[in-house]
Structure 1
């Protein structure tokens, strides 16, 4: 057994001068970054793994940093996205639609680049397109009122004449145009309040009107039938809204809209309870008042002229229908005033064209029904 370590050659702690210089030169060639450092010569027999790379691998300066350096922030101009610029000599690249075999990709469902959020339209010079006409009118200091116009007024006049003709024929002749009036009243009120579609509320209000009509026919025109149907439908609307799972504010808003629609539709049934001659005079007066109100006249003037024209129509029709002229003028003027109130309500807050052809048509006649009933009873 020898005293040499396992796997190593003879160890000489003090090498000779020539041998030490050779090993030092080899060490300098193997480690260029540590050239000239004495005392780091390895033991003899230890192979240099980088000896064959001394002529190919060159290192300049320090090989790595021994201290952490702070990151250098690049200017914003270098990191910002700029579209590629093509030289004038190069032809423009063909668009994907011009390339052969292109099929255009489907548009994403959400907004691009915003995580599926709402999409926004292109910029316009007219301002924000999402601002409604009513909001813009208030911001500019204008009145947020648009009157229905002549076409809805003509439809109101037509429906009024149908009511007048039906009343002249009898109770069941009046029932057909009255049911149509009640249906349009319920639908128009919900649309006027911005609740569309509201099939449940419209159906509930119209059903209350039909029940009230049936009660009027059974009770021979007793006004208690109208009050009873109205009370029952208010309670029914309250119960249905309390069972709703919507927010409290939405439930309250829906309750008020449902009760108001049912009340207006049921109140229109007052034509069945009123005297037939008063119904004839009142319906004709409403037709005249709405048409005059739609004429291109100043608002203050038309508000005065319309009831006067309705009173004149009542005066003329009253003598023919069986009422005296004074009673006919009174019924006509009262019905015209109530009709103008309904006309004003249908004009509020920049309503849509559909509102004008529902609420704008039905509300004048529905609002005039209580006046026709009361003034007709007084005239008789």
Structure 2
């Protein structure tokens, strides 16, 4: 006898149906396995939620509206300062430091005046070079200017030249006084022209060499002038070398100091050529230098000014040659002294000279550079 089918068997067997448990949901298939993306409201636990609260996706809307604040020309600055390049998109400034600005580029800058302290992306204003001094303007333009001393140093040079001419006419010992002044100004001006100041030891050493040469000339006489001048120069070069070797500065500084000291001592000693030359030659040469520097200071183009200065030197040589007995040969002596004076004037105008340089080297170098020509041409023409 067959048993009747159980009632509800077709609906499936439910062993818990009599206890009132609800049916469980169907388990997901293999394609549904894994960790579903559930929100915090569904009870999903995030261990970093307490330490790092969830941020809103639009935290900096203003920065996202400006996707690129670093222009391509400034990206190299991040590498120059050891920081990585800013990524594409919003501005990236680690630790709050921005890349250093460069002139003429758009970059965040601090506004001056009202509202200072707020960052604004505005291009920097161009520098008005016409309002700067000549030496600063030339430095910004990357060139080495020639700034001439001007009329006042030229007037001082002319006055010192007239003193040399008058003292030479009075006698040898009278000539020593303006010559010592010339040598002192030469020593101080050359160090300052080379950017070394204060350099009391070097200036004192060069001036002491010049005085030694003057004393040697007075003792040995004009007939032994080359030996006195060259001997003093050799001794002072050796002395300068010994003193620089005892210096504790770095090698580059010692070499620069050695060259400046030797050159300053050489120029100061060579200026003693006025004392070694004949008195008439000193008179003609000194007046010719005075006329040269005054003509060179005139507001003329450079080429025209040089021509006028040389003509003035030759004219002064002719005039003073007739007064001293040199005659027309004074024109050659005056022309040679004028050429050397222009060389000294050019040397004092080089490499951003200051006002102090103009009133020391600018005054003395034209007369100092003319001393060899005065001595040599005076012996040849006299």
**For the Cα contact (< 8 Å) 1:191–1:355, is it kept in 2?**
yes
Q: State the shift of 1:139 in Å.
A: 5.1
- Within 2, Cα distance between the matches of 1:308 and 1:149? 19
Aligned to 2:213: 212
Q: State the shift of 1:76 in Å.
A: 7.0
Aligned to 2:241: 238
Aligned to 1:147: 148
Q: State the shift of 1:236 in Å.
A: 0.6
The answer as to 2:47 corresponding to 1:67 is yes
Cα 1:126–1:167 change in 2 (3 A) is same
**For the Cα contact (< 8 Å) 1:216–1:223, is it kept in 2?**
no
- Within 2, Cα distance between the matches of 1:205 and 1:76? 70
Q: State the shift of 1:142 in Å.
A: 6.2
Cα 1:200–1:379 change in 2 (3 A) is same
Q: State the shift of 1:300 in Å.
A: 0.3
CA RMSD in angstroms comes to 2.9
Runs of 4+ in 1 over 2 A off after TM superposition: 65-78, 122-128, 131-136, 138-143
Q: State the shift of 1:298 in Å.
A: 1.2
- Within 1, Cα distance between the matches of 2:47 and 2:308? 95
- Within 2, Cα distance between the matches of 1:197 and 1:337? 31
Q: State the shift of 1:326 in Å.
A: 2.2
Aligned to 2:199: 198
Q: State the shift of 1:67 in Å.
A: 2.5
The answer as to 2:262 corresponding to 1:289 is no
Cα 1:184–1:73 change in 2 (3 A) is farther
**For the Cα contact (< 8 Å) 1:343–1:360, is it kept in 2?**
yes
Cα 1:198–1:132 change in 2 (3 A) is farther
What is the total number of aligned residue pairs between the two structures? 276
Aligned to 2:274: 271
- Within 2, Cα distance between the matches of 1:135 and 1:294? 22
Aligned to 1:361: 363
Cα deviation, 1:122-163, whole Å, max 9, x if unaligned, reads 8986379xx995464265476611111110000000000000
- Within 1, Cα distance between the matches of 2:55 and 2:241? 66
Aligned to 1:253: 256
- Within 2, Cα distance between the matches of 1:141 and 1:67? 62
- Within 1, Cα distance between the matches of 2:366 and 2:292? 10
Aligned to 1:329: 331
**For the Cα contact (< 8 Å) 1:186–1:205, is it kept in 2?**
yes
Cα 1:77–1:127 change in 2 (3 A) is farther
Q: Structure 2 length normalisation: TM-score?
A: 0.67
Cα 1:306–1:73 change in 2 (3 A) is farther
Please list every run of 5 or more consecutive structure 2 residues that lacks an aligned counterpart in the other structure: 1-40, 63-111, 113-123
The answer as to 2:314 corresponding to 1:308 is no
- Within 1, Cα distance between the matches of 2:134 and 2:345? 20
Cα 1:166–1:73 change in 2 (3 A) is farther
**For the Cα contact (< 8 Å) 1:244–1:251, is it kept in 2?**
yes
Aligned to 2:99: none
**For the Cα contact (< 8 Å) 1:317–1:328, is it kept in 2?**
yes
Cα deviation, 1:314-365, whole Å, max 9, x if unaligned, reads 1111121121x22211110000000000001111122111111000000000
- Within 1, Cα distance between the matches of 2:379 and 2:307? 26
Which protein has the larger Cα radius of gyration, Structure 1 or Structure 2?
A: 1
Aligned to 1:9: none
Q: State the shift of 1:297 in Å.
A: 1.2
The answer as to 2:323 corresponding to 1:320 is yes
- Within 2, Cα distance between the matches of 1:73 and 1:264? 78
Please list every run of 5 or more consecutive structure 1 residues that lacks an aligned counterpart in the other structure: 1-60, 79-121
Cα deviation, 1:38-84, whole Å, max 9, x if unaligned, reads xxxxxxxxxxxxxxxxxxxxxxx9xxx88344636795799xxxxxx
Aligned to 1:346: 348
**For the Cα contact (< 8 Å) 2:135–2:147, is it kept in 1?**
no
Q: Secondary structure at the match of 1:338?
A: helix
Cα deviation, 1:212-231, whole Å, max 9, x if unaligned, reads 11101100122211000100
